[in-house]
């Protein structure tokens, strides 16, 4: 069986099946064995692991996962790729299950229960850029038992996930990811490692799930509503952003009082607050509004 990390083998498979890249699925297949090996290494895949792969494509990374993991569940939305995976590129592996489904519509908790007895899994993916955030947040928010997520994403998205308060990349996505996991960029990947070549640089980022939530917040939905409001109007002060947000009900007086209690200036902007400060700010505002 041909290794798909080698470009000529990928081309041969695509030609054999007259495969046409679907722009709507954001398909870019990896053609670099070094990058593939690095992803497996950084994800820490062993024979004890069940891996969920999102968007296997023609099975390039899936082959590497099957060689290293105990079990692989590959979820692919494009039905045109299913015959390639089942009849050709993954046909020799008995530790893989291929599911033709939209990952956002799949009950992953049920899948993990059925396939891994509810034990934590590892997620590995080369994600289409337009759908990165909904997939990652969907996995976290639905409380799927996950040990880690190792994914290829657009480089600037990876930088946003790993950003520190006060930097230009810091935003609502940063705080959402860091609430659930510890992010670390483990590889930068240039466009020539893909077929077809994307217009942007990519990065592999590993998100290791927190054992325990890093902050103590009374209402996480409320905290994220406050965070969204703070970053919706980046140039505005935190008090104006929150006071102007239609879904929040706090008065200016309450917001100012909380800022004073926390020793923060009335002119402060949300982009300089850490996750811990947003949690404390939320808890104090909830207390004030009782």
Instruction: Show the 3-state SS of 161-224.
Output: HHCCCCCCCCCHHHHHHHHHEEEEEEEEECHHHEECCCCCCEEEEEEEECCCCCCCCCCHHHHH
Is position 96 within any domain? yes
Query: Tell me: the pLDDT tens digits for 59-78?
Result: 999 999 999 999 999 999 99
- What is the distance between the alpha carbons of residues 289 and 170, in angstroms, rounded to a whole number? 28
Residue 105 has pLDDT above 80, yes or no: yes
Shared-domain flag, residues 110 and 190: yes
Q: Count of alpha carbons within 13 Å of 195, Cβ hemisphere only?
A: 19
Is position 161 within any domain? yes
Mean pLDDT of the chain: 93
Last residue of a domain, one of 209, 240, 258: 209
Residue 88 has pLDDT above 70, yes or no: yes
Percent over 90 (pLDDT), the chain: 83
Query: Where does the pLDDT of residue 3 fall: very low under 50, low under 70, confident under 90, or very high at 90 and above?
Result: confident
Shared-domain flag, residues 51 and 187: yes
- What is the distance between the alpha carbons of residues 26 and 288, in angstroms, rounded to a whole number? 47
Shared-domain flag, residues 106 and 247: no
Among candidate residues 254, 247, 241, 245, the one with its CA nearest the CA of residue 283: 254
Query: Is the torsion defined by CA of 271, 272, 276, 279 positive or negative?
Result: negative
**Number of folded domains in the chain?**
2
Query: Where does the pLDDT of residue 4 fall: very low under 50, low under 70, confident under 90, or very high at 90 and above?
Result: confident
Query: Tell me: the pLDDT tens digits for 112-145?
Result: 999 999 999 999 998 877 788 999 999 999 999 9
Q: What CATH number does the domain containing 71 carry? A: 3.40.50.150
Residue 153: partners with Cβ closer than 8 Å, 6 or more residues away: 127, 129, 132, 202, 203, 205
- What is the distance between the alpha carbons of residues 18 and 221, in angstroms, rounded to a whole number? 47
State the pLDDT at residue 1.
Answer: 66
Residue 24 has pLDDT above 80, yes or no: no
Shared-domain flag, residues 264 and 127: no
Structural domain of residue 19, as residue ranges?
Answer: 7-209
Distances in Å between the alpha carbon of 201 and those of 27, 152, 158?
15, 10, 11
Shared-domain flag, residues 152 and 262: no
Q: What is the mean pLDDT of residues 20-47?
A: 88
Shared-domain flag, residues 31 and 157: yes
Shared-domain flag, residues 271 and 177: no
């Amino acid at each position: 069986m041909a290794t798909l990390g080698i470009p000529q083998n990928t081309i041969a498979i695509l030609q054999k099946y007259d495969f046409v890249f679907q722009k709507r699925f954001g398909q870019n297949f990896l053609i670099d064995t070094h990058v593939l090996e690095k992803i497996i290494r950084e994800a820490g895949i062993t024979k004890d692991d069940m891996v969920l792969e999102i968007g296997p494509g023609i099975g390039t990374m899936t082959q590497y996962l099957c060689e290293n993991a105990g079990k692989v569940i590959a979820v692919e939305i494009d039905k045109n790729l299913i015959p390639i995976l089942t009849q050709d590129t993954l046909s020799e592996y008995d530790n893989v299950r291929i599911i033709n489904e939209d990952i956002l519509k799949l009950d992953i908790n049920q899948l993990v229960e059925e396939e891994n007895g509810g034990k934590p899994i590892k997620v590995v993916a080369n994600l289409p850029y337009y759908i990165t955030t909904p997939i990652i947040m969907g996995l976290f928010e639905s409380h799927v038992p996950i040990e880690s997520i190792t994914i290829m994403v657009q480089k600037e998205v990876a930088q946003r996930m790993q950003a520190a308060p006060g930097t230009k990349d810091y935003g609502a996505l940063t705080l959402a990811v860091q609430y659930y996991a510890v992010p670390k960029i483990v590889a930068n990947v240039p466009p020539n490692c893909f077929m077809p070549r994307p217009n942007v640089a990519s990065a592999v980022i590993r998100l290791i799930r927190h054992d325990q939530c890093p902050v103590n917040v009374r209402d996480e939905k409320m905290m994220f509503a406050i965070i969204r409001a703070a970053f919706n109007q980046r140039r505005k002060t935190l008090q104006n952003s929150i006071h102007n947000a239609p879904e929040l009900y706090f008065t200016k007086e309450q917001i100012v009082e909380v800022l004073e209690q926390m020793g923060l200036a009335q002119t402060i902007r949300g982009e300089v607050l850490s996750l811990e400060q947003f949690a404390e700010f939320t808890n104090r505002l909830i207390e004030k509004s009782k």
